[in-house]
Structure formats: C-alpha cells, structure tokens
Amino acid sequence: MVQGNQSETLGRRGRFRALLSRRGVMTAAVASAAMALTQMNKATPALADAGNPMLISGFNTTAGGTTALVKTNGPTVAAMFVANNNYDGIQASSTNSYGVNGGGVVGVLGGSGTSGGSGVLGTLIGQAIGQGVLGSCTSAIGVYGASGSNIGVLATSAGSHGVYGGSSAASVAGVFGTTTNSSGAGVLGTNDNGIAVQGSSVSSAALFGASGSGTAVVGRSTTGKAAEFFGDVEITGNFTASGMKSAAVKIADGSLRRMYCLESPVSYFEDLGTGQIADGHGSVTLDPMFVSTVDTADYMVFLTPDGDCQGLYVESKSKSGFAVRELMGGKSSIKFSYRIVAKRTGIVNERFAPVKMSADPANPSASGPKPVVQREVEIPQLPDAPRVLPNLVPGGAR
C-alpha cells in the first residue's frame, strides 16, 4: 500500500517536471517573439537579398521570380525613401529592359532642391545611338515641359540640333509653337552672327507665313536689308513701295547701275512698235493680248516719223487699231514709231488713290507687328554623367 502510494507520488512528480519543461519552452518562445517585435519597432536598416526579401508595411508579392515591394496601408507617405548625402540615392540598371519602370498618376517624379540642379537627368553612356530621355505616348503628349516664369523646355547640343521635331502625319508640323500673348512669338530664333531661323524644302515652300487679318511675314533690319531674294519673285496682289523702284543693270565696265521706274497717278500699260505710211496713209493693228489687258475705249498714241515729212497725226482710233495720216495732205512714204498708253483693266484704277503704309515696328508708338524682345537665356550647367557602379554596368565587373 505504501509502495503503491510512493509509486503514484513519483508519477505525479514526473508529470509535473515534464509540464514545467514544456512551460519553459513556451516561455522561451514568448520571450523570443517579444524580442522580435521589439526589433521590428526599432529604426534599423532593412536588408534584403535573394533568399530574404524585404517587407515594408504590408506584404511582398512574387511573380515570375520578381519580388515586389508593396505598401498597402498606413499613412500617405512613401513606401520607400532613400537618401544619400554624397552619392546616388538609387541606382538601377538592366541589360535588356528598363532600369526603372514606374507607373501611377505620375510614372516617375524627380525633383531637386539645389540651385542649378535637375529634377530628372537622363544620359546615354558609351553609346552613339539612343536617347538620353525618351518620352512616348500613343494618343497623348510624349514629352511635356512647363514653367511658371522661365523656360518650359530647354535643349542644347554641342554637335547637332538642339531640338529636332518630325511628323509623318498630313497637315501637322514637325515643330509647332504658339503663344496667347500679343507681345510674344510662337517660335523665336536668335543668332548673334548667323541665321536665326532657316527653312528648307526639296519640292515645296521652305518658309510659309499666313495671317487672317495681319501681316503674314515681316522683315526688318536696322542697318542692313530687310529681305533678300536670290531667284525669281512672284507677288499675287498689290505691290507698294514707299521708296524708289529700280533695276540693277550691268553696264560696259561690268558694274551695276540703277535704272528707275516711271511712276504715274494712274496705272497704265503701254506698248511700242513701228508702222509704215504709203502715199501719206497708214494703219496699225493693236496686239490682241495687249488689248485684253487695257481699256481700249480711250487710249493715247504718240507718233514719231522716221523720215522727212510734214508731220503725222492719228486720223481715227478703234478697239482694234488706229489710222495714221501725214499732215497737210502730204504724200510721203516713210516708216514711223508709235507708243500706245492705256489704262489697265481688272483693278480699281483710282487717280492718286490714298494709301496707308505700315509703321516701322522699331517705333514704340507705331501700330502693327513689333519684334519680340530677345531676352538673354541663361543655359544651366548640366551635371556630370551619373556615376554607375561597376556591378551595375551591363557586362561590368561583379
């Protein structure tokens, strides 16, 4: 009986020791978990590698072997913030795809708080073909630049075009500029010693200007020429000049001299020719093409005898020609020259018609288009090419 009680007592003590042992394990587990939670609450660096992905305020997802860093809850702060005082904050590289791929309301946002810095810098390292920055979109704006008080987009090049625009669509421009300010310019080109704006075309217009109610093209020079044309010039419309109209004619010594145009209060066309009188009588038939351009109801004829006679006069005129007679019933047979002057048709041929010339744009009080003030543009100093660690360069040392 005593032995039996002793055996029972020993059994109870064994079970109690075993229970204490299990409670020790549980206590250690609880302590370990508490320590882990304490470590998670400390601001310690987050480390990640292929076997230990980094977790931040949520969960990581894996698809196709790619670990995603996702922030699913918490306050409206960045899922990840990287800062470095003396070196790059983040470096990303890819041999066959994007170094950085961003999506959202703004795919990638770059900002700089340093004067002369850049919000986003893109560069092509060691390659002759490619783009430093590429923007593309199938139905909206590929690249958009805006500024409240300075340049929206600035482009410079040491060896090629600063800006190049092209389009394959009909009725659109490779480069388009516009402004809503009457004192501004849609497109402005400046050059201290060379061409400010140049246009070229293989088979169409190199430069085209159009205006609904203003002046399509204005050229002005302070001490030089407002315009020069090397080739034929066509004008559909009226031509008005406030100065002299002349032709540059080469003379015997090879130099060019001015020959001036005759002016009259009314627009006249004239034709010259020669005729013949026989036995004191002669007639001249007007050129049909000349007749089609003038008013033949009233025209003037000036006669000059080319031989000895008593003088010539116009006996009668018609729309197709005129008759010539010798004065005082003379019977001479000589040649003569004639000059016909007639008013031009197809226009409002007003005598001494008033005209209003455009004022000089250089005059501040003048009306009409004025040249845009050319502000000095300070080109910012671009930073050096981004430093790329060797293990981030495709094919570099690892």
Q: How many residues does the chain have?
A: 398
* Cβ atoms 336, 278 nearer than 8 A: no
HSE toward the beta carbon, residue 396, CA cutoff 13 A = 11
Question: Which region among 18-22, 165-169, 219-223, 236-240 has the lowest average model confidence (pLDDT)?
Answer: 18-22
Report residue 238's pLDDT band, with 50, 70 and 90 as the boundaries.
Answer: confident
What's 308's domain CATH number?
2.60.40
Strands (E), the chain: 60-63, 66-69, 246-250, 256-260, 268-276, 281-285, 294-305, 312-317, 321-326, 335-344
The rounded distance, in Å, linking the Cα atoms of 373 and 362 is: 11
Query: The domain containing residue 14 runs over which residues?
Result: 1-28
pLDDT for the residue 30: 46
pLDDT for the residue 55: 54
> Per the domain annotation, does 108 fall within a domain?
no
Report residue 302's pLDDT band, with 50, 70 and 90 as the boundaries.
Answer: very high
The rounded distance, in Å, linking the Cα atoms of 135 and 35 is: 49
Res. 116: pLDDT tops 60: yes
CA distances 293 to 129, 146, 284, 285, 346, Å, are 62, 57, 18, 15, 8
Res. 23: pLDDT tops 60: no
Structural domain count of the chain:
2
Q: What is the largest CA-CA distance in the chain?
A: 188
By percentage, how much of the chain surpasses pLDDT 90? 31
What is the mean pLDDT of the segment spanning 319-326?
A: 97
Q: Residue 226 contacts by C-beta under 8 Å, 6 or more apart in sequence?
A: 219, 220
Closest CA to 321 of 350, 351, 343, 290: 290
Res. 367: pLDDT tops 90: no
Question: Which region among 149-163, 209-223, 311-325, 357-371 has the lowest average model confidence (pLDDT)?
Answer: 357-371
Report residue 268's pLDDT band, with 50, 70 and 90 as the boundaries.
Answer: very high
* Cβ atoms 271, 288 nearer than 8 A: no
> Per the domain annotation, does 11 fall within a domain?
yes
Runs of H (alpha helix) within the chain: 2-41, 288-291
- Kindly tell me the number of DSSP H helices and DSSP E strands found in the chain: 2, 10
- Exposure class string for 40-54: b at 16+ Cβ within 10 A, else e: eeeeeeeeeeeeeee
pLDDT for the residue 74: 64
HSE toward the beta carbon, residue 391, CA cutoff 13 A = 1
Res. 19: pLDDT tops 80: no
pLDDT for the residue 254: 96
Tokens 């006249």 locate to: 268
> Per the domain annotation, does 65 fall within a domain?
no
Phi, psi (degrees; rounded to nearest 5) at 29 = -65, -45
Report residue 104's pLDDT band, with 50, 70 and 90 as the boundaries.
Answer: confident
Res. 323: pLDDT tops 90: yes
Res. 93: pLDDT tops 50: yes
180 versus 391: the higher-pLDDT residue is 180
What is the mean pLDDT of the segment spanning 204-231?
A: 88
pLDDT for the residue 26: 47
User: pTM above the 0.75 mark?
Assistant: no
> Per the domain annotation, does 233 fall within a domain?
no
- In a 10 Å sphere around its CB, with 0-12 CB exposed, 13-18 middle and 19+ buried, how is residue 341 labelled? middle
Question: Which region among 65-74, 194-203, 271-280, 286-295 has the lowest average model confidence (pLDDT)?
Answer: 65-74
Closest CA to 122 of 107, 106, 135: 135
Q: What is the mean pLDDT of the chain?
A: 80
Phi, psi (degrees; rounded to nearest 5) at 260 = -95, 155
Tokens 């001494």 locate to: 352
pLDDT for the residue 20: 46
Report residue 246's pLDDT band, with 50, 70 and 90 as the boundaries.
Answer: very high
Task: Choose the final residue of a domain: 344, 363, 380.
Answer: 344
Token couple for 266: 């009314």
For 87-143, give the DSSP string: S-S-----SSS-S----SSSS------STT--S------S-SSS-SS----SSS-SS
Q: Residue 94 contacts by C-beta under 8 Å, 6 or more apart in sequence?
A: 394
> Per the domain annotation, does 322 fall within a domain?
yes
> Per the domain annotation, does 149 fall within a domain?
no
Report residue 321's pLDDT band, with 50, 70 and 90 as the boundaries.
Answer: very high
What is the mean pLDDT of the segment spanning 243-267?
A: 94
The rounded distance, in Å, linking the Cα atoms of 342 and 178 is: 48
pLDDT for the residue 359: 73
What is the mean pLDDT of the segment spanning 324-349?
A: 96
28 versus 240: the higher-pLDDT residue is 240
> Per the domain annotation, does 128 fall within a domain?
no
> Per the domain annotation, does 319 fall within a domain?
yes
Q: Residue 71 contacts by C-beta under 8 Å, 6 or more apart in sequence?
A: 56, 57, 58, 79, 80
